[in-house]
């Protein structure tokens, strides 16, 4: 588009473009909006979006906050709804099962982020080296993240099967243990790790791609200057590569962190929250409360607590990210 920058920095379109756009406006519409202020026209365009935002996001949020102070049950519409103050919040915060599910979520979140960042960055660093077949390896590595979580959950269930599963046989090959002697999905100790392994397998490529973008955005001349200054490779890595990739890495952590905080599908497919409740994430617990037990008021309060937690953590994190970018 032909444009020119005004002294004030605003972009002015050429007269030719304005004439073309004006000419494309139907006469009837042009007549109707003639006489409207710029502000009014702006509202006409922005209005539908704001309305949708209010209807789809803000209203449900306010409604959920309202419900969280009641004993409402969506399957008992003929029952009188009572306002019970902060009772739902008190119950949730004093419920040891809720804290166990938060603990399971934290375990999953921490270790998946740890492994995905570690392996994702390492893979990106290796892929960034120019070598033959580089593109082919990139394609192969990103394949898992293209699959549906339901499919991944299903086939890993088979891989983890103690009698016929490939995973157990591979472990057996290296350790000599009987394949049936351990159950990845059925053991209280191993099940939390089994879901970490699957999520890491599936989403490490995503972190790798973001890191790769960061690595490729570092201009070569910086490394060349470092070479001239006789900086060692290790020094270059810690003083150039890491600081310049850090904003990208933090962005990947933010995306994966938010996704994994609300992890549901993969874990339901793999363990259903079991054995017992050791892999029952907060999101699975919330779904059970809301749509299986139908404790709508209670689950609304739980949803608000989760929302505030994610929103609070994400806000702090984004501030940190912006500081890193500014450096």
Partner 1 sequence: MKQLTLATVGALSVAASTLSTAVQAEDLTLCWAAWDPANALVELSKGFEEQSGHTMNFEFVPWPNFADRMLNELNSGGKLCDLLIGDSQWIGGGAENGHYVKLNDFFDSEGISMDDFAPATVYAYSTWPKGTPNYYALPAMGDANGWFYRKDWFERDDIKAAYKEATGDELGEPKTQKEMLQIAQFFQGREIDGKKVYGAAIFTERGSEGITMGVTSALYPWGFKYENTPGKYDMEGAVNSAESVEALEFYKEFYETATPPGYTNSYMGESLDAFKSGQVAMAMNWFAFFPGLYADADTGGDKIDFFVNPPQNNAGSTLGGQGISVVSYSDKKEASLEYIKWFANPEVQAQWWSMGGYSAHNSVLNSETFPDSAPFAGDFLLAMENVQDFWQEPAYAELLLAMQKRVHDYVVAGQGTAQEALDKLIEDWTEVFEDEGKL
Write out the residues near partner 1 by the rule CB under 8 A: 71, 74-78, 97, 161-163, 180, 183, 185-186, 188, 268, 271-278, 288, 291-295
Closest CB 154 distance from partner 1, rounded Å = 13
Closest CB 192 distance from partner 1, rounded Å = 12
Inter-residue contact 120 to 144 (CB < 8 Å): no
* 244 vs 290, beta carbon nearer partner 1: 290
* 124 vs 278, beta carbon nearer partner 1: 278
Closest CB 282 distance from partner 1, rounded Å = 15
C-alpha triplet 42, 46, 47: angle, nearest 5°: 110
* 14 vs 181, beta carbon nearer partner 1: 181
* 184 vs 209, beta carbon nearer partner 1: 184
Tell me the C-alpha distance between 268 and 153, whole Å. Answer: 8
* 85 vs 276, beta carbon nearer partner 1: 276
Phi/psi of residue 257, each to 5°? -60, -45
Closest CB 123 distance from partner 1, rounded Å = 32
Torsion of CA 238, 240, 241, 242, to 10 degrees: 50
Closest CB 90 distance from partner 1, rounded Å = 13
Residue 120's Cβ-side half-sphere holds a number of Cα atoms within 13 Å equal to: 32
Give every CB contact of residue 138 below 8 A, 6+ residues apart in sequence: 127, 212
* 75 vs 322, beta carbon nearer partner 1: 75
Q: If 0-12 CB within 10 Å is exposed, 13-18 middle and 19+ buried, where does residue 44 land?
A: exposed
SS3 call for 190: coil
Closest CB 97 distance from partner 1, rounded Å = 8
The string of DSSP letters for 196-234 reads HHHHHHHHHHHHHHHHHHHHHTS-HHHHHHHHHTT--HH
Strand partners, 5: 11
User: Residue 320 corresponds to which tokens in the numbers above?
Assistant: 């940190």
Closest CB 162 distance from partner 1, rounded Å = 4
* 250 vs 280, beta carbon nearer partner 1: 280
Inter-residue contact 226 to 236 (CB < 8 Å): yes
Residues in the chain: 327
């Amino acid at each position: 588009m032909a444009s020119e920058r005004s002294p004030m920095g605003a972009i002015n379109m050429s007269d030719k473009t304005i004439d073309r756009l004006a000419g494309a406006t139907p006469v009837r519409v042009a007549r109707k909006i003639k006489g409207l202020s710029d502000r009014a026209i702006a509202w006409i365009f922005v209005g539908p979006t704001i309305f949708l935002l209010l209807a789809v996001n803000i209203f449900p949020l306010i409604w959920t906050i309202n419900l969280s102070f009641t004993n409402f049950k969506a399957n008992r519409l003929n029952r009188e709804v009572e306002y019970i103050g902060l009772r739902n919040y008190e119950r949730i915060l004093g419920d040891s099962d809720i804290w166990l599910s938060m603990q399971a979520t934290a375990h999953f979140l921490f270790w998946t982020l740890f492994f995905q960042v570690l392996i994702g960055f390492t893979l990106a660093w290796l892929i960034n080296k120019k070598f033959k077949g580089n593109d082919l390896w990139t394609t192969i590595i990103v394949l898992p993240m293209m699959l549906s979580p339901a499919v991944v959950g299903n086939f890993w269930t088979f891989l983890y099967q103690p009698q016929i599963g490939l995973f157990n046989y591979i472990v057996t090959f290296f350790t000599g243990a009987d394949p049936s002697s351990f159950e990845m999905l059925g053991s209280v100790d191993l099940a939390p790790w089994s879901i970490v392994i699957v999520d890491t397998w599936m989403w490490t490529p995503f972190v790798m791609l973001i890191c790769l973008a960061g690595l490729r955005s570092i201009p070569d001349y910086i490394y060349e200057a470092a070479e001239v200054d006789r900086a060692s490779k290790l020094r270059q890595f810690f003083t150039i590569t890491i600081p310049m990739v850090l904003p990208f890495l933090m962005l990947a952590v933010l995306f994966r962190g938010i996704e994994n905080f609300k992890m549901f599908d993969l874990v339901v497919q793999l363990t259903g929250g079991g054995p017992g409740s050791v892999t029952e994430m907060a999101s699975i617990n919330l779904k059970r409360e809301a749509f299986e037990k139908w404790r709508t008021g209670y689950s609304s309060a739980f949803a608000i607590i989760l929302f505030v937690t994610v929103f609070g953590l994400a806000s702090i994190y984004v501030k940190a990210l912006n500081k890193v970018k500014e450096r």
